[in-house]
Amino acid sequence: MEDHSLLNDVRAKAEAWTQAPHDDETRTTVRCWLDTCEQDEEAREALIDAFYTDLSFGTGGLRGKMGPGTNRINATTIANATQGLANHLKKVHGEAPADTPWRVAVACDSRHRSQEFAQITAEVLSANGFEAWIYPELRPTPQLSWTVRELGAVGGVVVTASHNPSIYNGYKVYASDGGQVVAPEDAQLVAEVRALDATTVVPRSQDRIRVLDASWDERFRSMLAGFRLSPHLVAHGSDLPVVYTGLHGTGAIAVPPALKEFGFRNVHEVASQAIPDGDFPTVASPNPEEGPALAEAVALAKEVGASLVMGTDPDSDRVGLAVPDGKGDFVLLNGNETAALLTDHVLSKWQESGKLDRPSFVAKTVVTTNLLVDLAEHYGVEVKETLTGFKFIAEAIRKAEGTLQYVVGGEESYGYLVGDQVRDKDAVQSCCLLAELAHELAQKGERMLDRLAALHRRHGAYKEGLVSLVKEGREGKAQIDAMMVSFRTSPPAELAGERVVEILDFQSREARSPEGDVLRFLSQASSNVMQFVTEAGSRITVRPSGTEPKIKCYASVREDWDGEGPHDAVIARLQTRVEAHFRALGVQGH
């Protein structure tokens, strides 16, 4: 009965998509689903999945599969999102004078239909009286964030699905500070979008569209070059052999010129992946978090004797690293290890130059390694811990303006940012600074792994792991919801033989004892996240992804290490503990 009722609701909702203003392909597809859904199970599931809900803003904005429907990315959902954004911006900022309209910056990545969707965004903004400043070709997400600030814009939009597979696209909205929209503004924006329906005729115009020319690219690279921390690199440049791949995305046009501006003369690109292509034909997934995405880059690195391999995702806000292991091969660093290396490099250099003489802070998320906390304490700076999603780090930067200097922040999902000129994770900048670290280490005859081992000797050895369970569609969402309810109502008493001593429920914003006593209240906003802390200091966290049909499970373990015995052996020991925690959680092997 419930499914029949749902189908009736969906059919009524979908009927409007068989009429104008939807395009012929959309109308034909939806009509076919409606006509055959009673007899054809595949058509019925396609119809329900496309219309049973509306796309909502998660940790990375609006993101979903492309296709017809309210639960899909298409010309209608993009236009409606932009009309809702325009209505929202008018309420927040008021009506701009006719002779000085409010500005909004627009960019896109290399995905299918991204440029079309960016143009629709610009046209809807223009029709609503805004000046839409648009990049004529694909540009990195961090450049869009920077552009919002440089333009003095009231907002920005980048059309991207970040590292998702090729069937996805998305729509990230930025506020006037250059950070992604956060609560309560995100809910207000969603309300404006949902006030529209499929029959709404969204106006479009080209009258106020302005093109961002090549001078903006030059200014962005010049800004990045200002972050150089190595006097030797500034004075002499670098011939360090470095391999880079853009994985068919925006990094291919942004990172090599930025590295050159930084002083690197010996950069080798993976030619087959330097061509922007929404099919991402050389990889199963354009996600630098996954080892296979860097396979071609590692192969090239072995040929040229590179000291560093870097790969960025399609919108260049995440970077993955592979580094020499000293035995003729390369090892992949996880996002926590890279965050620690970058954070230590930046803090040490800022301390040397006196830039830490004023009150400062670093930022991390609740699932990012606590090694960043140790590093902050070592250098005498504060730590702000946020919910997962870099928009919350940007929010922390905004709230601290005038009182605390933001230095560096990172999250386990391979996103990092130094300084506050950009307000989102920036893989273009990160590539430059990580290459600079590799250059400095090479001057001393050291490798990245040597520096990581040194950090572990000083602060304790850390190891983290992540298991993501994919749960597609309506049934998958129900399964994820049920798993979170179970973790919340029946939390584990122990994990991998370690007694759980603290349960953090970020939804109720409480830290509780195993007996249910409230120990303290959490400072972060309410979010559907559960974290379990054990007597050994391990942290195990579960949360639904805000951008993908997944539930994510994290484990972080630590042990003291005085440098005795091989570093590899310590890491292997810690990895065994990580895997044991996942088995105890019931997710190992998925």
Helices (H) and strands (E) in the chain, counts: 18, 23
Angle between helices 185-194 and 75-93 (to 10 degrees): 130
CA distance 483 to 333: 30
Going by C-alpha positions, the residue among 151, 91, 103, 155 that lies closest to residue 129 is: 103
Find where tokens 């310590």 sit.
Answer: 570
CA distance 461 to 571: 8
Task: Give the three-state DSSP class for 245.
Answer: strand
The pTM assigned to this predicted structure is 0.94
Give yes or no for a cis peptide into 184 (omega within 30° of 0).
Answer: yes
Instruction: Check if 162 is active-site.
Output: yes
Domains 55-212 and 461-585 share a fold: no
Q: Concatenated DSSP letters for 12-49?
A: HHHHGGGSTTS-HHHHHHHHHHHHHTTT-HHHHHHHHH
Count Cα atoms within 13 angstroms, Cβ side, for 323: 21
**461-585 has which fold?**
TATA-Binding Protein (3.30.310)
pLDDT (0 to 100) of residue 59:
55
pLDDT (0 to 100) of residue 58:
61
User: What's 264's DSSP letter?
Assistant: B
Going by C-alpha positions, the residue among 51, 128, 35 that lies closest to residue 88 is: 128
CB 558 within 8 Å of CB 340: no
CA distance 320 to 38: 47
CB 282 within 8 Å of CB 108: no
| Boundaries of every domain in the chain | 1-52, 55-212, 214-459, 461-585
CA distance 463 to 122: 45
Q: Which CATH number fits the domain 214-459, given the four candidates 3.40.50.1370, 3.40.120.10, 3.40.462.20, 3.30.43.10? A: 3.40.120.10
The torsion angles phi and psi of 323, rounded to 5 degrees, stand at -135, 155
CATH of span 55-212: 3.40.120.10
Q: Concatenated DSSP letters for 161-188?
A: -TTS-TTEEEEEEE-TTSSBP-TTHHHH
Q: What is the pLDDT along the chain (590 residues), one digit of tens a residue?
A: 457 789 999 999 999 999 988 889 999 999 999 999 999 999 999 999 999 988 876 656 789 999 999 999 999 999 999 999 999 999 999 887 878 899 999 999 999 999 999 999 999 999 999 999 999 999 999 999 999 999 999 999 999 999 889 999 999 999 999 999 998 888 888 888 888 876 788 999 999 999 999 999 999 999 999 999 999 999 999 999 999 999 999 999 999 999 999 999 999 999 999 999 999 999 999 999 999 999 999 999 999 999 999 999 999 999 999 999 999 999 999 999 999 999 999 999 999 999 999 999 999 999 999 999 999 999 999 999 999 999 999 999 999 999 999 999 999 999 999 999 999 999 999 999 999 999 999 999 999 999 999 999 999 999 999 999 988 888 888 999 999 999 999 999 999 999 999 999 999 999 999 999 999 999 999 999 999 999 999 999 999 987 778 999 999 999 999 999 999 999 999 999 999 999 999 886 54
CA distance 105 to 135: 8
Q: Using CA atoms in the order 355, 358, 363, 368, what is the torsion angle rounded to 10 degrees?
A: 70
How far CA 69 is from CA of 30, 277, 415, in Å, comes to 8, 25, 31
pLDDT (0 to 100) of residue 341:
98
Given the residues 114, 126, 145, 162, the one annotated as active site: 162
